[in-house]
């Protein structure tokens, strides 16, 4: 069965799907705002996770599993979708469909069959993702062993891409480091953008950073490279310091509260009514 240390778990009917095509279209129109709304709602849900006695999990007929608690670990595969929120969430068994996860620390160590949406203080992705990836966190790491088969949308304080992103990437962070491979057109926006020796971007690159990429780094991109102007707030005043990511802050804080309010009723009763939890996740990722 599924194990949750100091956690409570629940499941109910209703299978959810978001196809890669529709998902990609949504985030091409408004990538940053969509990710912000998603992250804010998930963080609110994770913060409400209570520390209560272990309860055996139940599953829907479709195999969907809903988990909420303090320290969550999987002990067997998930046949459908996984929805999990806790202070620490570790996915150690494969998930056949979508994964929707939030926590202070999130470790994804097993295969996700379709899309993965994850938010946390520290997010480690050390597995394959069969569909699209949407991730937000203080630190987000895509490990060398990981391959994301769909598109990737990532935002955070520090983002490290050591693995392979197979269908392009949009990354917004203070520090971005790419040591793996990105196939497809990409956008990288950060105070510091680094292509580590051995990294490869097979496609066009649009980026913004306080310092331009070196000639050696530009040679690691197979397509056209365009450097966009950086916001004025990134440029240090005399005797001052750079405040990275200031372009992102107004969007983040102005957008953060509405989804939390609109989904607050879902956060209060996800265990009793998992369908509401599913709706909250849809609201956050719309």
pLDDT, average across residues 66-88: 91
Question: What is the domain partition of the chain in residue ranges?
Answer: 32-234
Cα separation, 191 vs 214, in Å, equals: 15
Cα separation, 40 vs 19, in Å, equals: 23
Q: Under a CB-based contact definition with an 8 Å cutoff, are residues 69 and 86 in contact?
A: yes
Q: Which residues contact 29 (CB under 8 A, 6 or more apart)?
A: none
**Which of 4-13, 140-149, 193-202, 227-236 comes out lowest in average pLDDT?**
4-13
pLDDT, average across residues 177-199: 98
Residue 25 has pLDDT above 90, yes or no: no
φ, ψ (nearest 5 deg) of residue 153: -130, 115
The separation between CA 190 and the C-alpha centre of its own chain, rounded to angstroms, equals 17
Assign 74 a pLDDT band (cuts: 50, 70, 90).
Answer: confident
Q: Of all residues in the chain, what percent carry a pLDDT higher than 70?
A: 60
Q: Output the average pLDDT for the chain.
A: 75
- Please report the pLDDT score of residue 58 as a whole number: 54
Query: What's the maximum distance between 2 C-alpha atoms anywhere in the chain?
Result: 63
Residue 150 has pLDDT above 60, yes or no: yes
- Please report the pLDDT score of residue 105 as a whole number: 97
- Please report the pLDDT score of residue 212 as a whole number: 97
Q: Under a CB-based contact definition with an 8 Å cutoff, are residues 168 and 150 in contact?
A: no
Assign 276 a pLDDT band (cuts: 50, 70, 90).
Answer: very low
- Please report the pLDDT score of residue 70 as a whole number: 87
**Which of 43-52, 54-63, 72-81, 163-172 comes out lowest in average pLDDT?**
43-52
**pTM for this structure?**
0.71
pLDDT, average across residues 16-35: 41
């Amino acid at each position: 069965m599924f194990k949750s240390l100091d956690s409570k778990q629940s499941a109910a009917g209703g299978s959810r799907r978001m196809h890669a095509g529709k998902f990609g279209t949504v985030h091409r129109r408004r990538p940053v705002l969509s990710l912000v709304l998603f992250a804010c709602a998930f963080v609110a849900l994770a913060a409400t996770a209570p520390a209560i006695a272990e309860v055996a999990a139940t599953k829907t007929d479709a195999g969907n599993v809903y988990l909420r608690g303090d320290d969550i670990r999987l002990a067997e595969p998930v046949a459908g979708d996984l929805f999990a929120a806790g202070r620490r969430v570790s996915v150690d068994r494969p998930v056949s469909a979508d994964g929707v996860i939030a926590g202070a620390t999130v470790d994804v160590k097993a295969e996700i069959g379709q899309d993965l949406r994850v938010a946390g203080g520290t997010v480690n992705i050390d597995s394959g993702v069969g569909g699209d990836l949407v991730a937000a966190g203080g630190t987000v790491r895509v490990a060398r062993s990981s391959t994301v088969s769909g598109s990737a949308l990532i935002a955070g304080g520090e983002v490290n891409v050591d693995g392979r992103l197979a269908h392009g990437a949009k990354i917004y962070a203070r520090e971005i480091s790419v040591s793996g491979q990105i196939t497809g057109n990409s956008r990288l926006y950060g105070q510091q953008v680094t292509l580590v020796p051995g990294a490869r971007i097979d496609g066009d690159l649009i980026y913004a950073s306080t310092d331009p990429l070196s000639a050696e780094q530009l040679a690691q991109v197979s397509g056209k490279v365009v450097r966009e102007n950086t916001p004025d707030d990134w440029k240090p005043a005399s005797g001052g310091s750079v405040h990275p990511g200031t372009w992102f802050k107004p969007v983040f804080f102005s957008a953060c509260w509405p989804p939390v309010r609109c989904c607050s009723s879902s956060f209060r009763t996800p265990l009793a009514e998992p369908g509401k939890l599913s709706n909250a996740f849809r609201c956050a990722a719309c």
